[in-house]
Amino acid sequence: MRMWRQICLCSGIATLLAVAFVLEGCGGGSTTATPVEDPPDDPAPAFVHQDVVLRNRLGQPIALGSNEPYSPRTTCAGCHDFHTITNGYHFQQGRTDASGTIQMANDFFGDGRPWLKSDGMYGKW
C-alpha cells in the first residue's frame, strides 16, 4: 500500500522536528516539508529537514562574507522547543532538575560534602 507522509522519523528526537516543520514561518523558510512518497519496498523511513536560514546572535540572517558566528539559538529555536531540549542532562549536567528548576547548592546531597554542588558533572569536585 502506497502511503504519503509529510515527514518520516528515524527517532524520537525527530518528532519535534516534524512538529516544528508545520509551524508557519519556521526557520524563515517554507512552512511545510515537502511530502515524501514511500517507495513500496522501503521499510526505513527517511528523515527530511527543510533548509534553515542561518542567523547571528541578534537573530539577523547571516550573509556570505560575514565573520560573525552563527547562533544555534536564533537559528533553531524559532521552531524547536529549546527550553525542553536544553533541560536534557547532557546540557545541564546537574544544574537543573527534571522540571528545569536550578538545583545547585552547597552540600547537594546533604551528607556533609559541601564541595558537591549538584548530582552531575557541573558541580562535582
Partner 1 sequence: MAAKDNVRESDIDKTSFWYGGLCNICHPGGGFGEFDRDGELYYDVRTSQFGYEKLGKTAADVRLDGDYAEINHMSGALRAAPWDITGVAEPDCLFCHRTERAVSDGKNMNWVWRTATLRSKDKLKDTGGASVPAYAAAATAGQGWFSAFALNSKVPAGKPPMATTLDIDYQPGVDNGSLKEDGAGSLRLDGASIVGSPKDYACWGCHLTPDLKKRGRSWFDESSDVHYAGFNNLNDADPTNDIAPGNSTACTQCHPAGLDHNIAKGNATVSSVRNDTDYAGLRTCRDCHLPGAEKHENAPTPTSDIHIDGHLEKMSCEMCHIPYKTRSAVFAIDNATTGNTIGYPAAALLSADPLDPTDPDKSRWYPSFKWKTDKDGERRLFPIKLLLSVWWGDWDDNGTPDDGHDDTITPIALWRVRQITGGSPIAGTVDDNGDGKPEVNRPEEILAYITAMKGDDSYGVPVATRPVLVKGGRVWFEVPGGGDVDSFDYHAEGVHTESSHPFSVNHNVLPTDQALGATGCIECHYGFAERPSPVFDRLIPISPFDETEDARPKYKTVRQMTFLSPF
Cβ partners under 8 Å of residue 3, min gap 6: 38
Nearer CB in complex with partner 1: 10/23: 10
Q: Smallest distance from the beta carbon of 38 to partner 1, in angstroms?
A: 17
Return residues touching partner 1 (CB under 8 A): 9-17, 29, 47-54, 57-58, 61-73, 75-76, 80-82, 84-96, 98, 102, 104, 106, 111-115, 117-125
Q: Smallest distance from the beta carbon of 77 to partner 1, in angstroms?
A: 8
Element (H, E) at 18: helix 13-21
Grid coordinates of 58:
541578534
Q: Smallest distance from the beta carbon of 94 to partner 1, in angstroms?
A: 5
Element (H, E) at 5: strand 4-5
Q: Smallest distance from the beta carbon of 63 to partner 1, in angstroms?
A: 5
Nearer CB in complex with partner 1: 1/98: 98
Query: Quick one: CA dihedral 18, 24, 26, 32, positive or negative?
Result: positive
Nearer CB in complex with partner 1: 37/61: 61
Amino acid at 16: L
